[in-house]
Chains A and B, each alone.
Chain A
Amino acid sequence: MQVEGKVWRYGDNIDTDVIIPARYLNTFDPKELAKHCMVDIDETFAKEVQAGDIMVGGKNFGCGSSREHAPVAIAASGIPVVIASSFARIFYRNGINIGLPLLEIGDDVEKIHANDRLKIDTATGTIENLTTGDTFHAHPLPDFVQEIAKSGGLVNYVRDHGTLG
């Protein structure tokens, strides 16, 4: 998948409580969750995000609760891919499982700023920063995880294969 969009830039240790606060967890309707995404640290995000925009965080993105509502809220906001220095492991699993590409790029993330325009090939993990001219490569995904991504998530993978493995 090729995507091009504007960057919403966040810092280190963005936790799932700020991605979608627990007071909104009494629903799992993706559109409803998207209305409150990031609200506690950025009130403009839910109002102004455009489909195709890209979310970029620092290290340990998505730490905290296992709530899959967090990647669901981000995806339902129209974000096609999240880039970070590193991801917390449950968030990472959840992203893979729901078919939201997550690209881990380590310290290169410092070269991406708010409102930069990025062009990304999620299959190869190549990220071009059109604003600065830099190009980065995400850490490759293990083969099995790529298979899940190709199926469009874990549920589709199980549908395609009848079971897991």
Chain B
Amino acid sequence: MGMNMSEKILASHSGRDHVEPGELVICDLDLVMANDVTGPPAIKIFESMGKEVFDREKIALVPDHFQPAKDIKSAELAKIMRDFARKNQIVHYFEQGRVGIEHVILPEKGIVAPGMLIIGADSHTCTYGAVNGFSTGVGTTDLAVGMATGKAWFKVPEVINVHLTGKKAKYTCGKDVILTLIGKIGVDGALYKVLEFTGDGVESLTMTDRLTISNMAIEAGAKAGIFPFDETMKKYVETRVKKEFHPVNPDPDAKYSATVEIDLSTLKPVVAFPHLPENVKAVEDIAEPIQIDQVVLGSCTNGRLEDLQIAEKILRGRSINKNVRCIVIPGSREVYRAAMSNGWIETFIDAGCVVSTPTCGPCLGGYMGILAAGERCVSTTNRNFRGRMGHVDSEVYLASPYVAAASAILGRIATPAELDD
């Protein structure tokens, strides 16, 4: 019986030829990752276990959530992680100035690669499915045990086949694909399951599109969201990954618990209304104008160079609406630097944006753009839960960089088509 990509990775990492959905397996991990919110409690648990780190080259510690420190307590958290990294000579520790958002920098630097099995104490660890990894979010206890033993337990999941056809429609990108999917299946539509993307539509998706799509698999409740290994991915990883890797693709007779069809050519720019990512509507179907107060462009979902490029083209020569604050946050130093040498940072500043150093910042209501009661934000981030970006009575509308940039100019939720001559 053939296997899907999830089964292949879980089998090869548990020393088996074959695994079946529902089986519990204990697997060897290729990478264990944490940030400045989840790392410190994991370090405390780890230190109570009296063990050594299993492999100092297979642990990544990324202080991105509240750093540069937003307050004294956050500075203390960063210090716990920094001291631990120094003491244990952790290879993939990123200090401020060299850091970026965890899920932007690990693929960018080739630390995650095809066929790898990865756990991260951050729910968006599923991002690395875009580079063909089985990668899933865990809590601090799993992380501590992972750092100590190099192992984690997994229930072999059922897999939903997301069959993509056609080519992307105008003014749509990966964000519209994943929001449309979540709108179809709901925020628990893939609970305990994995989303695997197949079909000839995959070809037309850039690596940035795929990273956005895998990133938000968790927003449908999924354990992971995995793309097959193809030419586009090969080109992306071969310049970045310095070690040997073992890509997986599904067998022709792989089993799936369900199939969802999406024709990319029929997609429209969409927005997820408060307070769940499943409240998805096409922008063109919004009857009454929705006035906004803030736009955030960035995050582990849409903070990559191509995302900034989309926004830059729309903002060039225009001004942010007088009633709107627009915050641009490049996802990594590499993204920031390239945006700067391309002249895009100038475009953003000239248009009236705030440009920040890479950080998760406002996405989770940390800092750098917290919302007041009654304020509305169009954000390229991943969650619009009640109070997610600030006051419990504020509202977050999730959208692509196309929609976010057009909305920033028009002061209401809009698509770039409304700016076309």
A residues contacting B by CB (< 8 A) are 13, 15, 17-18, 21-23, 25-28, 40-41, 59-60, 63-69, 71, 86, 88-90, 93-94, 97-98, 142-145, 153-155, 158-159, 163-165
In the bound assembly, the distance between CA atoms of A165 and B28 in angstroms comes to: 11
* B26 part of interface (Cβ distance < 8 Å): yes
Which one of B44, B187, B192, B386 lies within 8 Å of A28 (CB-CB)?
A: B44
A22 touches B140 (CB 8 A): no
Knowing A23-B365, A60-B188, A165-B26 are in contact, say whether A40-B387 is a contact too (CB < 8 A).
yes
Q: A15-B383, A158-B49, A164-B149 are in contact. List 14 more A-B contacts (CB 8 A).
A: A21-B365, A22-B365, A26-B74, A60-B188, A66-B137, A66-B138, A89-B191, A94-B141, A98-B141, A142-B155, A144-B24, A153-B141, A155-B45, A164-B145
Which one of A25, A71, A88 lies within 8 Å of B37 (CB-CB)?
A: A25
* B127 part of interface (Cβ distance < 8 Å): no
In the bound assembly, the distance between CA atoms of A165 and B366 in angstroms comes to: 38
In the bound complex, residues from chain A placing their C-beta under 8 Å from that of B365 are 17, 21-23
Main secondary structure of the interface of B (DSSP, over half): mixed
In the bound complex, residues from chain B placing their C-beta under 8 Å from that of A67 are 37-38, 139
In the bound assembly, the distance between CA atoms of A63 and B140 in angstroms comes to: 16
In the bound assembly, the distance between CA atoms of A161 and B226 in angstroms comes to: 33
In the bound complex, residues from chain A placing their C-beta under 8 Å from that of B40 are 28
Q: Select from chain B the residue with minimum beta-carbon distance to A159.
A: B49
B123 touches A90 (CB 8 A): yes
* B388 part of interface (Cβ distance < 8 Å): yes
Which one of B70, B152, B386 lies within 8 Å of A40 (CB-CB)?
A: B386
Interface range, B side: 35 or more
Q: Select from chain B the residue with minimum beta-carbon distance to A24.
A: B73
In the bound complex, residues from chain A placing their C-beta under 8 Å from that of B141 are 68, 94, 97-98, 153-155
In the bound complex, residues from chain B placing their C-beta under 8 Å from that of A28 are 40-41, 44, 140
In the bound assembly, the distance between CA atoms of A42 and B218 in angstroms comes to: 26
Chain B, 21-71, CB within 8 A of any chain A CB: 24, 26, 37-38, 40-41, 44-45, 48-49, 65-66, 70-71
Closest 7 CB pairs of A and B: A68-B139, A165-B26, A94-B139, A26-B73, A97-B141, A60-B188, A28-B41
A154 touches B73 (CB 8 A): no
A–B complex contacts, Cβ < 8 Å, 26 sampled: A13-B187, A13-B276, A15-B385, A17-B383, A17-B385, A17-B387, A22-B37, A22-B364, A28-B44, A66-B122, A66-B123, A66-B125, A67-B139, A86-B191, A88-B188, A89-B191, A89-B221, A94-B138, A94-B141, A98-B141, A142-B155, A153-B141, A154-B141, A159-B49, A164-B152, A164-B153
B139 touches A17 (CB 8 A): no
In the bound complex, residues from chain B placing their C-beta under 8 Å from that of A60 are 187-188, 191, 221
In the bound assembly, the distance between CA atoms of A41 and B392 in angstroms comes to: 8
In the bound assembly, the distance between CA atoms of A165 and B121 in angstroms comes to: 21
* B90 part of interface (Cβ distance < 8 Å): no
A64 touches B37 (CB 8 A): no
In the bound assembly, the distance between CA atoms of A76 and B385 in angstroms comes to: 24
In the bound complex, residues from chain A placing their C-beta under 8 Å from that of B44 are 28
In the bound complex, residues from chain A placing their C-beta under 8 Å from that of B392 are 40
Knowing A60-B221, A88-B191 are in contact, say whether A154-B383 is a contact too (CB < 8 A).
no
Interface string of B57-97 (1 = CB under 8 A from A): 00000000110001101100100000000000000000000
In the bound assembly, the distance between CA atoms of A76 and B377 in angstroms comes to: 34
In the bound complex, residues from chain B placing their C-beta under 8 Å from that of A18 are 385-387
A64 touches B385 (CB 8 A): yes
Which one of A15, A27, A68 lies within 8 Å of B140 (CB-CB)?
A: A68
Chain B, 229-245, CB within 8 A of any chain A CB: none
Which one of A27, A66, A71, A88 lies within 8 Å of B38 (CB-CB)?
A: A66
In the bound assembly, the distance between CA atoms of A148 and B38 in angstroms comes to: 22
In the bound assembly, the distance between CA atoms of A158 and B383 in angstroms comes to: 34
* B223 part of interface (Cβ distance < 8 Å): yes
A64 touches B383 (CB 8 A): yes
B192 touches A27 (CB 8 A): no
In the bound complex, residues from chain B placing their C-beta under 8 Å from that of A26 are 66, 70-71, 73-74, 77
